[in-house]
C-alpha cells in the first residue's frame, strides 16, 4: 500500500511507502501498477527520496529485513536507475529519512531496530540501547561510509543538509530524545498524524576530524520540516515546520538570523506538512506560498490553507473548505502543469 508520499520524476507520478515498491499513478491518481524502474529496482523504496535541484538526479534507498539491510539507489533526471549500492549496517533499523548535500549522502543509523516478535501486533520495531546511534557520511558516488557516533536519539524527518565553507556537513533534523520517543511509542501515536513530536536540532559534522557538534534550534515540539526544494542539499536560509502545541500552528525559521515567526490557529487543529510552492520568477528563497491541510482535532471536515511564505505570521491568505475529513499526516508535493518551468517536490 503506497500511501505516504507522492512525487514526480522522469515524467512518472510515483506513490511511495517505504515497505515496498512505489506505485505509478495517473494525473487523476488512478493506479497504473507497481513501478520498478524497468526491472532494475529490486528493493523497497523510501518515502523520502531527494531530488538534486541542479542535476535533477533522484537519490533514494531501500531498507530490508534481510541482508543487505540498506541499499542506496540513484536515478538520473530521465528516470533511469543508474546505481544500486549495498551499504553495510549491522541490523535492520527503521531508517525513515536521510539527507544529501552537493557531494555527500548522510545516513542516520539509529537504535530503533526490527523486532520479529512484534510482527502482526504493531509496528515491528523496538528501541534497543545496545545498538547505539551514529551518522554516516558517504560520497554520492558510493564508497566507504565515515561513521561517527552520537548520543542516542531518533529522527523521523530531515529538514535539509548542506556543506559549509569549512567543509563540514550541516544537518537540520527534528530530533527525538529517548524519553520523547518512548512517549510516542507508548501512546502508539503515528508521527504522521500529530501528537508527540520532537524538537528542531542542528548537527555540524566534521568528517575529517570525526566529530559532531549538536545545537538545539528551538524548544517547541515540531514535525514535518520543509523548505524550498530548489535548496535541497544546498545552502538554505528558511525552514518551515508544524506544531501541535496549544491549538496547533505553522512556524517559519530563519536559520541565518536564528529567529522564528509563527501562525497559531485559533481553534484546536492538526496541521499537515506545509508544502512550499515557489512564485513564478522568484528572486528570493522564500518568495512563494505554503500549502497545508488543516483538520479539526475534535471532528469535522478538513480545510486546505494557503499562506504567504514571506509572512507566515499573517496567517492564511486563502482557505478552501474540503467536503470531508482528510486523514492527517500524508506528505505531498507541488507538481506544476506539464510545460511549466516550476518544479517542486515536498
| Lookup: cell for 271 | 496541521
* Residue 219 exposure: Cα atoms within 13 Å on the Cβ side: 0
Give the mean pLDDT of 66-92: 97
| Lookup: cell for 110 | 539509529
CA–CA separation, 213 and 150 (whole Å): 9
Q: What is the pLDDT of residues 225-235, one digit of tens each?
A: 999 999 999 99
| Lookup: cell for 163 | 556543506
Query: Cell 549522502 sits at which residue?
Result: 105
> What DSSP string describes 261-330?
EEEE-SS-EEE---EEEEPTT--STT-EEEEEEEEETTSS--EEEEEETT-GGG-EEEEEE-SSPPPTT-
| Domain spans of the chain, in order of start | 5-260, 261-346
- Beta-carbon contacts of 296 under 8 Å, excluding residues fewer than 6 positions away, are 267, 268, 269, 302
Q: What is the pLDDT of residues 241-295, one digit of tens each?
A: 999 999 999 999 999 999 999 999 999 999 999 999 999 999 999 999 999 999 9
Query: Cell 522564528 sits at which residue?
Result: 260
Q: Does domain 5-260 have CATH number 2.120.10?
A: yes
Comparing C-alpha atoms, which of 258, 257, 242 is closest to residue 295?
242
**What's the pLDDT band for 187 if we cut at 50, 70, 90?**
low
* Sign of the Cα pseudo-torsion (83, 84, 90, 94, in order): positive
What 3-state class would DSSP assign to 75?
strand
| Lookup: cell for 93 | 533499523
**Alpha helix segments (H runs only) across the chain:** 178-187
**What's the pLDDT band for 338 if we cut at 50, 70, 90?**
low
Comparing C-alpha atoms, which of 112, 108, 114, 110 is closest to residue 127?
112
**Averaged confidence pLDDT in the chain:** 92
Q: What is the pLDDT of residues 39-59, one digit of tens each?
A: 999 999 999 999 999 999 999
Amino acid at each position: 500500500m503506497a500511501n505516504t508520499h507522492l512525487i514526480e520524476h522522469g515524467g512518472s507520478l510515483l506513490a511511495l511507502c517505504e515497505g515496498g515498491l512505489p506505485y505509478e499513478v495517473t494525473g487523476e491518481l488512478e493506479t497504473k501498477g507497481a513501478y520498478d524502474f524497468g526491472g532494475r529496482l529490486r528493493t523497497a523504496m523510501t518515502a523520502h527520496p531527494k531530488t538534486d535541484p541542479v542535476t535533477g538526479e533522484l537519490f533514494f534507498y531501500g531498507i530490508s529485513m534481510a541482508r543487505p539491510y540498506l541499499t542506496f539507489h540513484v536515478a538520473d533526471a530521465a528516470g533511469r536507475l543508474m546505481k544500486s549500492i549495498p551499504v553495510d549496517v549491522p541490523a535492520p533499523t527503521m531508517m525513515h529519512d536521510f539527507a544529501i548535500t552537493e557531494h555527500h549522502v548522510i545516513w542516520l543509523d539509529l537504535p530503533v531496530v526490527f523486532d520479529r516478535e512484534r510482527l502482526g501486533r504493531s509496528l515491528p520495531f523496538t528501541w534497543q540501547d545496545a545498538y547505539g546511534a551514529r551518522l554516516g557520511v558517504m560520497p554520492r558516488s558510493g564508497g566507504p561510509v565515515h561513521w561517527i557516533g552520537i548520543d542516542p536519539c531518533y529522527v523521523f524527518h530531515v529538514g535539509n543538509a548542506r556543506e559549509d565553507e569549512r567543509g563540514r556537513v550541516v544537518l537540520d533534523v527534528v530530533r527525538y530524545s529517548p524519553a520523547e520517543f518512548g512517549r510516542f511509542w507508548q501512546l502508539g501515536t503515528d508521527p504522521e498524524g500529530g501528537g508527540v513530536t520532537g524538537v528542531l536540532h542542528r548537527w555540524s559534522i566534521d568528517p575529517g576530524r570525526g566529530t559532531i557538534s549538536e545545537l538545539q534550534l528551538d524548544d517547541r515540539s515540531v514535525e514535518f520540516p520543509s523548505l524550498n526544494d530548489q535548496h535541497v542539499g544546498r545552502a538554505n536560509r528558511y525552514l518551515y515546520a508544524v506544531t501541535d502545541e496549544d491549538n496547533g500552528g505553522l512556524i517559519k525559521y530563519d536559520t541565518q538570523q536564528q529567529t522564528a515567526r509563527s501562525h497559531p490557529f485559533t481553534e484546536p487543529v492538526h496541521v499537515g506538512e506545509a508544502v512550499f510552492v515557489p512564485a513564478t520568477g522568484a528572486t528570493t528563497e522564500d518568495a512563494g506560498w505554503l500549502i497545508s491541510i488543516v483538520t479539526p482535532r475534535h471532528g469535522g471536515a478538513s480545510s486546505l490553507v494557503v499562506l504567504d511564505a514571506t509572512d507566515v505570521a499573517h496567517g492564511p491568505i486563502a482557505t478552501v473548505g474540503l467536503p470531508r475529513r482528510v486523514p492527517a499526516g500524508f506528505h505531498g508535493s507541488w507538481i506544476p502543469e506539464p510545460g511549466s518551468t516550476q518544479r517542486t517536490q515536498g
